[in-house]
Amino acid sequence: MRINNFYKVVSKPIYKVYEKILWNQIKNGPFPKHVGIIPDGNRRWARSYNLNIDNAYFYGYKKLKEVLIWLLDLGIKNVTVFALSTENCERRNKYELEYVLKYIKQGLEDLLTNELIEKREVKVRAIGRLSQLPDDINQLIEKVTKKTENYNKHKLTLAICYGGRQEILDAVKKIIIDVESDRTKVNELLINEENFKKYFYDPELEDLDLVIRTSGEVRISNFLLWHLAYSELFFCEAYWPDFRKIDLWRAIRSYQKRKRNFGA
């Protein structure tokens, strides 16, 4: 215990110095317009501290609130969070899924009453196969979407029961339905990127500039496949509840150092 306390006392001023150095490196930009977050490692973090599954998602939920403030303070216009994948929505252990949904519900309730959302004019949207969610969560999504629909300074998108492949498949299904119902004539159907995006869960969602994944896993796990085609990817070793401001700033620094060719 004494060793841990000594480490905290010694490391705190070092952290502050490093934070200042990082800020000086990134403060002049450019900053990404759209940041995607894959907040991975909640359960492994909890196991490392001998905590239970409820603690895992509670601290993950608290960290998300903190990180959103950091991103807003940086002036990031769009943030998309991978809250729950289609695969986890359909296949995850029901006991664990209850805790995930518990904190998704709490997060939506907070968004309804959080003064920061109103002050910063953050539009909130949810994307995914939302019909698979409980009715009470869908009702909250509808309320927070309605309340924030006229805000336009920032946008927070929650990907819930979401899968990139599923979104593309669902878009194709919608096109087929339009054709079969004569709303769209086959000979008039022009398939290009602009028209295809009209069939996405949120046609106005912009492409991702930077995607951050925690926990050391180097994969994108079916997250916004269309929108991250030209994204810069940053993989952080820290488990999500341990994600620090300097980790975010490192991701921004990495983004700023890269030359974006957009496939060219």
Sign of the CA dihedral 12, 15, 21, 26?
negative
Q: Could you read off the pLDDT of 40-91 as tens digits, one per residue? A: 999 999 999 999 999 999 999 999 999 999 999 999 999 999 999 999 998 8
Q: Where residue 152 falls among pLDDT bands split at 50, 70, 90?
A: very high
Radius of gyration over every alpha carbon of the chain, rounded to an integer in angstroms: 20
Give the DSSP letter of residue 217.
Answer: -
The catalytic position among 42, 78, 88, 209 is: 88
153, 121 Cβ separation under 8 angstroms = yes
Q: Do the Cβ atoms of 153 and 186 come closer than 8 Å?
A: no
Q: For 81-128, how does the pLDDT look when each residue is reduced to its tens digit (9 = 90+)?
A: 999 999 999 888 888 999 999 999 999 999 999 999 999 999 999 999
Return the pLDDT at 192: 85
Tell me the per-residue pLDDT of 187-245, one tens digit each, with 9 for 90 and over.
566 778 988 999 999 999 999 999 999 999 999 999 999 999 999 999 999 999 999 99
Residues 162-167, mean pLDDT to the nearest whole number: 98
Q: Is 88 a catalytic residue?
A: yes
Which pTM was predicted?
0.92
> Which residue in 5, 40, 207, 247 is the catalytic one?
40
Tell me the CA distances in angstroms from 131 to 78, 108, 135, 154, 160, one per residue in order.
Answer: 24, 16, 8, 26, 10
For the chain, which domains are there? 31-163+210-255 (3.40.1180.10)
CA–CA distances in Å: residue 144 to residues 106, 141, 155, 231: 12, 5, 12, 28
Catalytic residue check, 52: no
pLDDT value at 150 more than 50: yes
